[in-house]
Structure 1
């Protein structure tokens, strides 16, 4: 029997495995090899790995884990979970049944890309969600922000640390008069109309096509599409969730334990704030340490 099975082997899952492996706990990591940030050319803001391709960072992490004999990395999808604390069973898509005393869910989320021409092609390069991840490289340039709801006003305030040239694309939202007044006070331009197409120019630049027949050229476009968990295991388990501006996240306590004893969660799946590789890594490390300490006798 494993001490811990980790479902999801990106930054959070591997960080958890590292802590458990160093504690000589038997760990199996199940991963499908599709991290959320695989579309990004570089990852930023992670100490010691700034400006490295995220897939390269993950490949290095997997190589480093090979020195720990109690860690097993498996390219497989978890299809179902049953059991309870000290005796969980995970069935993989290959019909292999694995058992563990504890579980860590770190299978992340997927971005629900709008059905707009050019959106998917630009995602991760010309269209990005996080100023902490990509803002420095385009600071002082003309940014666009796709309005997604009241939470977008927080982004407007945040972006001023990087640029004074910002255009809000309403994308069919009816912006209230007080919001328009506030945006005007901040010298933020507003482009009404719904986005019908995006044409990328080079690595970052894009032209946003609107149904008003007006194109808006920006040096980078920030957007926050809806997300959904990349698997439904938490639903079958009945784990508690919380609502976020873009979707749901698993509810966890300060030890990263979910509403079911013995099951922990980390990374974007359980992060209601601004996701990043740094937060995913520390959450994964916390989940791994907490799972290990919960098994002490």
Structure 2
């Protein structure tokens, strides 16, 4: 009997697929980072031109489609906001009580930023394409929300979703913003006397009539300070600071053009030290105080006759 011999052969099939990188991005001309870029960038913190926002400016984001040989020319990548990667913008710890948002192609979109906003399209040519996104912080008209940013502070995190038109692959860009400068602001449109100058004219006085004690000097002028905020319903303690250069002979006095004379601000029977403050209150967005400005001379001196001028600033703040 003859055996039937069966010869077999293992057929090995091998193939090559052509792929493109999932993502390729850089910031401020730095090195290209592929895969799922997780970058960090220092930015300038400044008030915007319309004074309603704080702009986090200076992140020049670029991404590109980096093809392998024989990648079809019609393949394209897209960057957008998306639910897959989470919130497009998460503010840092110093902005949790502030409104925030992203300026995308010149349009301001407050947080929560809508999903599905396409920001950039990367054609299959390896060119660097700008990703036009700038975070911002809304300035609230409330003196209880001061902002104090220090260099190196984390300002927030940007997250963008990368998809394409050729497969189901996806990637994401994560960019952490840090502060490149110190920045402080009391984001309040509340005003003292509607921001009008407070002019104190003591008139013509004899130098001997000027007293040496802020509380007893007879050369004085009373003034009413009024406080108001444009947004209703603000109830908060505030401070009023008497800003200026203190006199060389008494820190309770504002320096004047005559070195032997200074000006005091007296409230509730006490002189407010120059660069010191007193505590008061805004109730339902309004408030007020009565103060007196007094001319005071150096003890033992007789000021030289002639015009006397000086200037200071009253600043509203929070305790």
Shorter-chain TM-score category? Answer: under 0.3
Where relative contact order (Cα < 8 A, 6+ residues apart) is larger, the structure is 1
TM-score, length-normalised on structure 1?
0.24
TM-score, length-normalised on structure 2?
0.22
More strand by share: 2
Give 1 or 2 for the bigger CA radius of gyration.
2
More helix by share: 1
